[in-house]
Chains A and B, each alone.
Chain A
Amino acid sequence: MSKTVLVVDDSSSMRNLVSMTLTDDGFEVIEACDGRDALQKLSGQKIHLVISDVNMPNMDGITFVTEMKKLPAYKFVPVVMLTTEGSDEKKKAGQAAGAKAWVVKPFQPAQLLAGVRKLLMM
């Protein structure tokens, strides 16, 4: 059974590239354009992992992860932050929100997949 990944990014091209990378490797992908949209997409969906941008309109990635972790069904879903931000300050904020990994864009497909597989213990 394939794993489902929620990809959250306000850039549709980034969503396309991440989705392509994941689906090529056999993952199912659900896309959301910001944190608020992602929370709505979560409802009732079985999600195995989240890849989220940080800077997004309506609701940023850090807030989204914080809110998602409050939901019992998604409390232990691993989160990868995929962002142009690379400062330690932002990384600490992501870690505090509950993210398990941090990738600075641009991402390498092979590296992203390796990280995702590691987090999903595949």
Chain B
Amino acid sequence: MNAKLMPVGPGAVVVAVIGSAMLAATATSLGLVHVAMMLGLVLLAAAASFWERKGICATLAVGGATAPYTHSLHDVSDASMTRWSQHIDMVRRQTETAGSELTRDFAAIRGQLREMLDSVGTDSQGGVVAVLDNSQSDLKGMLDQLNKALEDQKPMLREVEGLVKVTDDLKQMATAVGDIARQTNLLAINAAIEAARAGESGRGFAVVAAEVRRLSAESGSLGKRIKDNVEAVNIAMAKTLATARQMSAQNETLTSTSEVTIKAVLERFGDVANGLSASTQHMTDVSEDVRKKVGEVVVQLQFQDRTSQILAAVCTDIERLIERMRGQEERLARGEALEPFDVQAWIAELEKTYTTMEQFDAEHPSAQAPVESTEMTFF
């Protein structure tokens, strides 16, 4: 029976299985607690292997007194591995629950962050910048209209100035009419004198001279009235011109002051708009940075799915080992020879449960690096 004892004991298989799993697990960003636990499992397995080999040596030395030891070894392995399996599964489920909570919270935080960035970001600030731009445009338009109104007043002033000149001419003309009337009156007086000197024959001429004198008096009176009216118009025109000039000057001053004020306001608007624009750009940059970081975190948060699958494979294999050992125990109880483990076949069977590439490459240095995402393959 001693010669048929397992050339490689179950402890060695456990060492191989758990050691492989631990390397795979560390390669997938497990926490330190998990790594420590895995290390503990490996040490326990190594101890089992050690005592198992010691048992084999002792068996070789003392002959057939191996049954109690073998039974106890199987019992302790069965009990320990059952617990290891339960504990690994417990860790897997706890990690899964925590991972699920973590991702849900992360999604909620991400949503709130996105909402916040949207509310204070591009849209609202872009709106303010647009309002400022529109205001600048409106104020510039108003300034242009003021300048245009000022320009439009100048022809009117020129027209009024032209009218004043015309009334001056009218005044001179009225004066000329008065002079002509006086001259005509003098002529009429002379004619009347000559008519008196002519006696009876000049009586008709005297009547004409008197009529001419009366007409010259009326002409003189009319000329004076024209002159008076022209002077009144001239005074009114002068006042209007003075008022128009004063208003024009005031408008010019007002426009000039408005221009300066509006330019100052526009400059302040421009500063605010530039500040907001820079702030908007900053928010856009921050938003983009957050988006990239979220992408990275999403990748990292997927460790739970990988570690869960790796640990599930370990649990499955431990349970398979327990089954195998129980079978051996039964064979031992029936007094049958124990079947040696075929480690290569065992590992091959284990590898069938692998679902991640790093499980195959656990001992390769590349498996220690963070897991990178890959491109999508289209069929």
Contact between B376 and A95, CB atoms less than 8 A apart: no
> Is B171 an interface residue when CB atoms closer than 8 A count as contact?
no
> Is B299 an interface residue when CB atoms closer than 8 A count as contact?
yes
Contact between B304 and A11, CB atoms less than 8 A apart: yes
The residue from B114, B305, B372 contacting A14, defined by CB atoms under 8 A apart: B305
Contact between A19 and B96, CB atoms less than 8 A apart: no
Contact between B379 and A13, CB atoms less than 8 A apart: no
* Beta-carbon nearest neighbor of A53 in chain B: B305
> Is A30 an interface residue when CB atoms closer than 8 A count as contact?
no
Contact between B308 and A11, CB atoms less than 8 A apart: yes
Query: Using a Cβ–Cβ cut-off of 8 Å, how many residues does chain B contribute to the interface with A?
Result: 36
Which stretch of B103-111, B264-272, B322-330 is in the interface?
B103-111
> Is B356 an interface residue when CB atoms closer than 8 A count as contact?
yes
Q: State the CA gap A9–B96 with chains docked (Å).
A: 13
> Is A110 an interface residue when CB atoms closer than 8 A count as contact?
yes
> Is A108 an interface residue when CB atoms closer than 8 A count as contact?
yes
Q: State the CA gap A16–B304 with chains docked (Å).
A: 12
Query: Using a Cβ–Cβ cut-off of 8 Å, how many residues does chain A contribute to the interface with B?
Result: 38
Contact between B110 and A11, CB atoms less than 8 A apart: no
Contact between A13 and B374, CB atoms less than 8 A apart: no
Task: Scan A63-97; emit 1 where CB is below 8 A from any B CB, else 0.
Answer: 00000000000000000100111100001001100
Given contact pairs A11-B308, A20-B107, A108 touches B295 in the complex (Cβ within 8 A):
yes
Provide the residues of chain A in CB contact with B306, threshold 8 Å: 84, 105-106
Provide the residues of chain B in CB contact with A111, threshold 8 Å: 373, 375-376
* Closest CB in chain A relative to B355 CB, distance in Å: 5
Provide the residues of chain A in CB contact with B300, threshold 8 Å: 106
Provide the residues of chain B in CB contact with A102, threshold 8 Å: 376-377, 379
* Beta-carbon nearest neighbor of B95 in chain A: A13
Given contact pairs A13-B100, A16-B103, A109 touches B298 in the complex (Cβ within 8 A):
yes
Provide the residues of chain B in CB contact with A84, threshold 8 Å: 305-306, 309, 355-357
Task: Scan A10-31; emit 1 where CB is below 8 A from any B CB, else 0.
Answer: 0111101101110010000000
Q: State the CA gap A22–B102 with chains docked (Å).
A: 18
Q: State the CA gap A104–B304 with chains docked (Å).
A: 15
Provide the residues of chain A in CB contact with B99, threshold 8 Å: 11-13
* Beta-carbon nearest neighbor of B378 in chain A: A101
Beyond A12-B96, A84-B356, A106-B372, list 16 extra A-B contacts (CB 8 Å): A11-B99, A11-B305, A12-B99, A13-B99, A13-B103, A16-B104, A20-B110, A54-B355, A84-B305, A84-B306, A85-B356, A105-B305, A107-B299, A107-B373, A109-B295, A115-B376
